[in-house]
Amino acid sequence: MNYYLGKKVEVIVDRPLGSKHPEHNLIYPINYGYIPNTLSGDGEEIDAYVIGEFQPLESYEGYVVAIIHRKNDNENKLVVSKEEKLYSVDQIRALVEFQERYFESDIITLQQFYSNNKKQNDENSLALDFNHEKKSLLELLERDGKMVLATSLNNQVTARTMSCIILGEKIYFQTDKVFEKYHQIINNPRVALCINNIQIEGVAEAKGHPLDEENKDFSEKFKKLEYRAFEKYSHMENEVLIEVELKLVTIWRYEKGRAFRDYIDFKNKIAYRSYYEHS
């Protein structure tokens, strides 16, 4: 079941918020449903609690933020929410108490899973300071704004080098709406960027024309750092600004002949080092 932690899933809500349990005297204070095409310990599909939503739903897409391991039952449960929502064990337990009070259970959150499985063996992994690693990364990205951008759609993957600008914790670049990468981004916003030994996974979003007033910070910085590209392309009618929100960054490094990867997880605000066993 731990496989599902952090995964994006679709929940079919068959017991929406406010509905009554079909057999017991129980009203659902949150949306509850199942993950289609899965198999739970009871032979049925895996059930899921949807948290952070306050209206009855029919279906829902979100990320598995916790797993409820029932000790006295053969059926575990998933807890699903929007990716930016982070809940503690106590908060989750309070939200699902209406039903889980009848069972003895452990709740494993995504952050606990990373902590227990990525940092438990000091020989092969090491916890890092997230804020320090984030700051160092952004400084590295600022030094060379040329990155390879990979986009995909319908089993077609394309890649090209882009002139990128760092603003805050996000990456920005401009492109033309007629290009393949724009079409791919609009229909599949999950993208990857690469520069030297740094691999970046993120989610892209179109933010309007580069010269729109709300994009002034980008246009001013882009003009300063990429003057020729700014003068040649930024004024074109079809230009569009793309923002990439960082989700996971992997950096390959070596120390005293030993290879390792540093992970900076922006989604869960943790960082850790994983040593490559075969180096």
Provide the residue range defining the domain that includes 175: 125-275
Percent with pLDDT over 70 in the chain: 92
How high is the pLDDT of residue 24? 85
Q: In the structure, what pLDDT confidence band is assigned to residue 222 with cuts at 50, 70 and 90? A: very high
The predicted pLDDT at position 120 comes to: 47
Give DSSP secondary structure letters for 209-264: -TTSGGGHHHHHHHHHH-HHHHHHHTTSTTEEEEEEEEEEEEEEEEETTEEEEEEE
Say which CATH number the domain at 68 has: 3.90.80.10
The residue behind tokens 């700014």 is 230
Higher pLDDT residue, 177 or 144? 177
Mean pLDDT computed over 157-169: 96
| 142 lies in the same domain as 108 | no
Q: Look at 81 and 279; give whichever has higher pLDDT.
A: 81
Q: What is the pTM of this model?
A: 0.60
Q: What is the pLDDT of residues 63-122, one digit of tens each?
A: 999 999 988 887 899 999 986 567 888 999 999 999 999 998 889 887 776 666 554 444
Q: What is the mean pLDDT of the chain?
A: 89
Q: What percent of the chain has pLDDT over 90?
A: 64
- In a shared domain, residues 71 and 159: no
176 shares a domain with 150: yes
Express each pLDDT in 244-277 by its tens digit: 999 999 999 988 888 999 999 988 788 888 887 6
Query: Among all chains, which residue has been given the structure tokens 């890649």?
Result: 159
What pLDDT is attached to residue 276?
79
The whole-angstrom separation of Cα 31 and Cα 34 is: 10
Q: Which band of pLDDT confidence, cut at 50, 70 and 90, is reported for residue 126? A: confident
The total domain count for the chain is: 2
Least confident of 29-38, 103-112, 145-154: 103-112
- Identify the band that residue 141 occupies on the pLDDT scale cut at 50, 70 and 90: very high
Which pair of tokens denotes residue 277? Answer: 């066993």
Quick one: pLDDT at residue 1? 66
Q: Of the candidates 88, 118, 148, which is a domain's last residue?
A: 118
130 and 87 in a common domain: no
- Out of 118, 145, 162, a domain closes at 118
pLDDT tens figures, 231-246: 999 999 999 999 999 9
Q: How confident is the model at residue 279 (pLDDT cuts 50, 70, 90)?
A: very low
CATH of the domain at 224: 2.30.110.10
Can you say how many angstroms the Cα of residue 65 is from the centroid of all Cα atoms in its chain? 11
The reply to whether 81 and 209 lie within a common domain is no
Q: Tell whether 30 and 138 lie within a shared domain.
A: no
The reply to whether 90 and 184 lie within a common domain is no
Give yes or no: residues 84 and 207 share one domain. Answer: no
Same domain for 106 and 129, yes or no, is no
Residues 87 and 195 reside in one and the same domain: no
Q: Contact, 193 vs 200, CB < 8 A?
A: yes
pLDDT value of residue 121: 46
Burial of 122 per CB tally in 10 Å (0-12, 13-18, 19+): exposed
Residue 138: which H helix or E strand, with range? helix 130-143
Mean per-residue pLDDT, 173-188: 97
129 and 114, same structural domain? Answer: no
- Shared domain for 174 and 238, answered yes or no, is yes
